[in-house]
């Protein structure tokens, strides 16, 4: 079998962690995939995959091989694009990651737009509330909210959000609005463990950032749940401004302690540093950046 085709099959199995799923993705039969990987391991003289009845995982050698194989396949794709010219139509697959709520609210519409514009493309979207290692997990494009650590990634700033403290008008009418962060200790607090420092809330006081320890009456595992409880008048919660933009617009929630809000938080599109960027990545980043920069809730 062609060596590049075998390489592509092995990468597909590693990413899908399944022979059958990789076969469906490449539109070949599972025995073809199984035979190709077996031939590859025999030729290299090393075990690349650990197989059980429940999962397929790359070995240490397999993890190194799949990373190198991805790079080779990407270089070949770039060579083809250069030969086709700068106006080559985007084609191929992308893996994109973003935080859960931001992905659902702001990235998914851009993904659908992209797929409709470029019918020869495919996207795997990983929406998860943790910072993933893009190199190790084979991710092409990520959306990050927060300051970026130094890395080999390229970053494009596309907006900002604020860390806001919110409650329903009904709750504030019944229990009063705290005028300083210190007075939060007298309030019913809803905390989301999906957020960093979900119990220790930071505010700007006298031009300094101070931390106030809250004593939540309700701790939930998602920001969605915290927002739901606040809308129903249970108490005060703290989330990112984009997450409650619609609730603030329709009056279900209002912001409090605005004078004490910390600095705005940047939003970046990041992607792996490469000698060239393929047309599929450039086109996706351009489309998503234009959409995010035009969104009034991200300014």
In a domain, 273, yes or no: no
Residue at a domain's end among 70, 88, 106: 88
In a domain, 33, yes or no: yes
- The whole-number pLDDT of residue 98 equals 95
CATH no. for residue 182? 3.40.190.290
In a domain, 128, yes or no: no
Q: Residue 130 above 70 pLDDT?
A: yes
Residue 81 and residue 170 share a domain: no
- The whole-number pLDDT of residue 81 equals 62
In a domain, 275, yes or no: no
Q: Quick one: pLDDT band at residue 274, thresholds 50, 70, 90? A: low
Q: Residue 116 above 70 pLDDT?
A: yes
Q: Residue 299 above 60 pLDDT?
A: yes
Residue at a domain's end among 88, 107, 126: 88
Range of the domain at 46: 1-88
- Residue 192 in tokens: 């989301």
Closest by Cα among 293, 168, 231, 235 to 285: 293
Residue count of the chain, please give it: 299
Q: Residue 276 above 70 pLDDT?
A: no
In a domain, 61, yes or no: yes
- The whole-number pLDDT of residue 165 equals 97
In a domain, 113, yes or no: no
Residue 254 and residue 168 share a domain: yes
In a domain, 95, yes or no: no
- The whole-number pLDDT of residue 183 equals 94
In a domain, 153, yes or no: no
Residue 170 and residue 256 share a domain: yes
Please give the average per-residue pLDDT across 42-68, as a whole number. 86
Please give the average per-residue pLDDT across 169-181, as a whole number. 96
C-alpha to C-alpha distance for 236 and 230, rounded to whole angstroms:
6
- The whole-number pLDDT of residue 10 equals 87
Instruction: Indicate the number of domains in the chain.
Output: 2
- Residue 107 in tokens: 């990235």
CATH no. for residue 65? 1.10.10.10
Question: Between residues 226 and 63, which one has the greater pLDDT?
Answer: 226
- The whole-number pLDDT of residue 129 equals 85
Residue at a domain's end among 60, 88, 116: 88
Q: Residue 86 above 70 pLDDT?
A: no
């Amino acid at each position: 079998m062609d060596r590049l085709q075998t390489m592509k099959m092995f990468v597909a199995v590693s990413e899908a962690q399944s022979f059958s799923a990789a076969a469906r993705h490449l539109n070949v039969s599972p025995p073809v995939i199984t035979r190709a990987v077996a031939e590859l391991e025999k030729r290299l003289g090393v075990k690349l995959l650990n197989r059980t009845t429940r999962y397929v995982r790359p070995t240490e050698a397999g993890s190194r091989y799949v990373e190198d194989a991805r790079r080779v396949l990407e270089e070949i794709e770039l060579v083809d694009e250069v030969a086709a010219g700068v106006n080559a139509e985007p084609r191929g697959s992308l893996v994109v990651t973003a935080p859960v709520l931001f992905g659902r609210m702001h990235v998914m519409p851009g993904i659908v737009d992209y797929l409709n514009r470029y019918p020869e493309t495919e996207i795997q979207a990983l929406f998860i509330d943790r910072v993933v290692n893009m190199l190790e997990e084979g991710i092409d494009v990520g959306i990050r909210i927060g300051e970026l650590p130094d890395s080999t990634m390229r970053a494009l700033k596309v907006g900002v959000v604020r860390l806001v403290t919110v409650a329903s008008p009904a709750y504030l009418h019944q229990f009063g609005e705290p005028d300083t962060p210190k007075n939060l200790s007298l309030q019913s607090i809803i905390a989301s463990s999906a957020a960093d420092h979900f119990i220790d809330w930071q505010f700007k006081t006298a031009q300094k950032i101070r931390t106030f320890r809250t004593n939540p009456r309700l701790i939930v595992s998602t920001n969605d749940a915290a927002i739901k409880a606040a809308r129903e008048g249970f108490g005060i919660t703290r989330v990112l401004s984009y997450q409650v933009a619609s609730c603030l617009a329709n009056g279900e929630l209002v912001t409090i302690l605005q004078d004490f809000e910390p600095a705005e938080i940047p939003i970046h599109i990041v992607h792996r540093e490469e000698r060239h960027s393929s047309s599929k990545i450039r086109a996706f980043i351009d489309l998503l950046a234009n959409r995010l920069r035009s969104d009034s809730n991200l300014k």
